[in-house]
Structure 1
């Protein structure tokens, strides 16, 4: 099994037919089919179900496809990293940002950093805190910008950059923790466990996996949204929650073991000096 075979197999699966994959790879179909056949012979099992119009993965083939994607991405990233070694302030930063921090990262750090280093490009991975942390572990991204809390991991390195109070969105006045028991709440799922412990009789009208959805529902008057300051302060009817000590920490996370490109190091240094 070699990289060329994996790239060919990945393309066949994505294109759906041998003929279309051959066109995409600028090669004739017989050599392409031979590479797939040799791959199946080496593994000792069929990888594709060949239909009259298209091909489909077997269960083993689906596993190999996802592994091939990871390997091909890793090779591409390695090439980029080698380039970065030679060109310190160019290249691409692989950056993960949770949805609730997109505006914060752009306004607080990237707006000025992009002006300082206009030749640096960006690959943005968007997800929740856990998917971003997992992407750091698997070398898909170099830096993750996430919110606490999250489980400790000895393989990760964390820099805490800011602490934010929680706000309500959609109320006509500041609310206390006790008053939150008597209004319909719109909340991001990651914070539900905390408010379950804080409130005696919470009324969750909407629980969402994206903080932006919470804001949209609250803006339309369906209930009271709960969110950290950097999201909530953009709204006219946002108020800090009275007598609440909980804060959301904004954290920069990198791997202790994985390679960090020179361009990513430049961004980390910039953030640390702010």
Structure 2
């Protein structure tokens, strides 16, 4: 099996309501746009939400600061009862006016499942981006995929070895580094590292559902997955994904942006997905895309 960019690329590897500006009586002078809470109030609201979620048993929830609207956007998946959101709002207290509550279909969870891509310990995930350090070649995938996988294979029968998991980080982050130890496998490159922008058109690829495109909704998002841990600094998009797509690449053209972490929904009804920024992973492991 050749690990090339041509193999679906993967083997080559959230808004509150802004208030409009109003015209004043003085000629040629307009009032500045209201942008919601002040920076200090916004920071306090974010800290209050973060603390409330961390101290509770609440999961299936994501939150980030939307500086454009002056709101902290809290997105709850379908498993979070309305009563729990009410409790969260009351716990936040006076800072609740700086919060916008949204709902997402399905359940926020790390994507993981059986199938046909990179295999290990009875699970399947997707290869993200190829990287190297000196003359040694590796690839990046999701950290939650690699927690219990010592060795990866190209097939479910585990007859063609790729190589070992060298390092992994989850929760908090969601990235892992796997070393190529099979000289018969090619590992072409073709990407450079970049940073995602809100509104940017992007594509993600995965071994379950292939390539799907959409837009970046938010940056620096914190997510507490159901039945798992909290990850921070994530990219949020409106692109669908399903189990087994974890670890796959998020990119814009030849610019590598993220590694698929988790989300909700599916590619029939749509969903919300979260990605580990690639730049953080390559910096953590002192490797380079090529």
TM-score scaled by length of structure 1: 0.25
Q: Select the structure that is richer in strand.
A: 2
Radius of gyration: which is bigger? 1
TM-score scaled by length of structure 2: 0.24
Q: Select the structure that is richer in helix.
A: 1
